[in-house]
Amino acid sequence: MNADRMKIIAFACTYCAYNAADLAGSMRLQYPHNVRIVKLLCTGKIEPILILEAFRHGADAVFVAGCMEGECHFVEGNLRARQIVDHTKHLVEEAGMDPRRLEMFNMSASMAQKFVQAVRTMTERLEELGPSPLREADNDRSVERTGQSVS
């Protein structure tokens, strides 16, 4: 499967990364269109279950994008987010996936190019890693379910 057909979910802080993505759009910067953005008040609100659910629902890669370190509007939310992401990488690995499918980036609202680069980085990783094994497992279950409903 081509990497630009795989799904990337970006959990983006409303104060920085979300605005950086918006600015990238306003500047008409080109980047892969396979990213869907989930806006968070602060990346400090991220939890492992949100990331794992994104993978379970078909994401091939997930990234969390927060303010620059020292610039979080909730003081240390982005530091907490980095710890959560690092911890969740282990859970992702235990689930049978390459932990490089998950990443954390920091940027300010004016760093449109950095948001674009984050999407490109994750897309390049997907070119190497291919679709999520959870997606393929789900496809197998769908085939099994279809088979059960026919028989």
Residues of the shown chain interacting with ligand FES in the complex, contacts defined by CB under 6 A: 13, 15-16, 42-44, 66-67, 72-74, 77-78
Q: Which is nearer to ligand FES, 19 or 132 (CB)?
A: 19
Q: Residue 39 Cβ, how far from ligand FES at the closest point, in Å? A: 11
Q: Residue 123 Cβ, how far from ligand FES at the closest point, in Å? A: 23
Q: Residue 73 Cβ, how far from ligand FES at the closest point, in Å? A: 4
Q: Which is nearer to ligand FES, 84 or 97 (CB)?
A: 84
d(CA 72, CA 69) in angstroms, rounded, equals 7
d(CA 144, CA 130) in angstroms, rounded, equals 23
Q: Which is nearer to ligand FES, 3 or 102 (CB)?
A: 102
**Count of residues for the chain?**
151
Query: CB under 8 Å to 26, separation ≥6 — which residues?
Result: 112
Q: Which is nearer to ligand FES, 87 or 145 (CB)?
A: 87
Residue 83's nearest CA partner among 61, 68, 64 is 64
- DSSP result, 104-136: EEE--TT-HHHHHHHHHHHHHHHHHH-S-HHHH
Q: Residue 37 Cβ, how far from ligand FES at the closest point, in Å? A: 14
